[in-house]
Amino acid sequence: MLLSASFANAKEEEKKQTLQEEITEYVYHHVQDSHDFSLFSTKDKKTGEKIYYGFPLPVILVDEGLKFFMSSKLDHGKKVVESSGKYYKLYHGKIYETNQEGKMSYDEKGEVTNLKPLDLSITKSVFSILLVSMLMFMLFTSLAKSYKENNQIAKGVGRFFEPIVILIRDEIAIPSIGENNYKKYMSFLLTLFFFIWFLNLLGLSPLGVNVTGNIAVTFGLALITFLITNLTANKTYWKHIFWMPGVPVWLKPLLAPIELLGVFIKPFSLMIRLYANILAGHIVLYSLIGLIFIFKNLVGSSLSLVLVFFISIIEVLVALLQAYIFTLLSALYFGFAVQEDDH
């Protein structure tokens, strides 16, 4: 009797472990980029295989010429795709070169040693970025036109966006960059703000894309800020880095390497901040949703549902806040770059 009870307990424990593992896998699958746009998946009751609902995206590979096929051919890693004499297989979200049977080879540490072709696919993130860019282009060009037609007065959705544009100009650009120079940075700052904001909000939608929580995307954004800062910088900026005025001469060579390091740390922190905030938000939300399935009773599950609701609301705030902070800090860095010598 006792034995059977403990056996049942152990079995339950085992089942719980697999559920937790499944949730962990699900969360990690969600935060990573993928080659297809799957909205949700179910399990086939008989075979236990996953069935995905969504649509495929094009795969573009550079491997002795351009290879092009739809990701539905890969069938979530189950099938091997043949393209002009070479075979490809999807393995843990990455495309590897393989043979006809789809054999994967591993080294002693268990890492895959198959060759990886240069992957320029339109992945989920790339697709979302293109979508948001197109949306922004259409929205803001039509807004600009509506001003011309309507005697310079905002109408329709412009009434919502005008205060935000004014806020970025009056609260971010002018105080941090200065009256004289702010105009040439405005277009970038506005693009940056709306791009990050829209992508963050898209990430919170049930589409389940995680674009700004991808370090490659935030690296790209931070790289543009870095290039603009350093390419538009004036003499004063470089003088403050390599030969800091106003400090004793013996201190100047000591300060130069620190200041030079700061040039790289600033965009690096921008990159990490946005990436980590959004990624952490997504993981917390998904883990709390996973708790519903772990509790499996009314009190625990409804509690975690309420928690998910509140965290979602906080994430909407974070989406705006992170876009604001990225824009504000970029503007501050531009401000350092064009500062006039006033002492």
Partner 1 sequence: MEIPKIIGAGLAIIGVGIGIGGIGRGAMEAIGRQPDASNTILVAAIVLAALVEGIAFAALFAVN
Residues that bind partner 1 (CB under 8 A): 171, 175, 269, 272-273, 276-277, 280, 321, 324-325, 328-329, 332
- Shortest distance (Å) from residue 301 CB to partner 1: 28
Quickly tell me which residue has 């990159």 as its tokens: 271
Residue of 211, 257, 224, 205 whose CA lies nearest to 327? 224
- Shortest distance (Å) from residue 276 CB to partner 1: 4
Query: CA torsion, points 196, 199, 203, 205, in degrees to nearest 10?
Result: 120
Task: Give me the DSSP letters along 82-137.
Answer: EETTEEEEEETTEEEEE-TT----B-TTS-B-S---EE----HHHHHHHHHHHHHH
Residue 37 or 193 with smaller CB distance to partner 1: 193
Residue of 334, 322, 320 whose CA lies nearest to 174? 334
- Shortest distance (Å) from residue 332 CB to partner 1: 8
- Shortest distance (Å) from residue 311 CB to partner 1: 17
Residue 30 or 252 with smaller CB distance to partner 1: 30
Give Cα 23 to chain centroid, integer Å: 21
- Shortest distance (Å) from residue 280 CB to partner 1: 7
Output the CA torsion sign for 134, 137, 143, 148: negative
Residue 96 or 326 with smaller CB distance to partner 1: 326
Residue 276 or 292 with smaller CB distance to partner 1: 276
Residue 60 or 321 with smaller CB distance to partner 1: 321
Q: What is the 3-state secondary structure (H, E, C) of 313-328?
A: HHHHHHHHHHHHHHHH
Residue 22 or 171 with smaller CB distance to partner 1: 171
Residue 240 or 273 with smaller CB distance to partner 1: 273
- Shortest distance (Å) from residue 272 CB to partner 1: 6
Number of other residues whose CB lies within 10 A of the CB of residue 326: 26
Residue of 173, 169, 174, 177 whose CA lies nearest to 339? 177
- Shortest distance (Å) from residue 175 CB to partner 1: 8
In degrees, rounded to 5, the angle at the alpha carbon of residue 126 between the alpha carbons of residues 122 and 131 is 110
SS3 content of the chain, % helix, strand, coil (to 5): 65, 15, 25
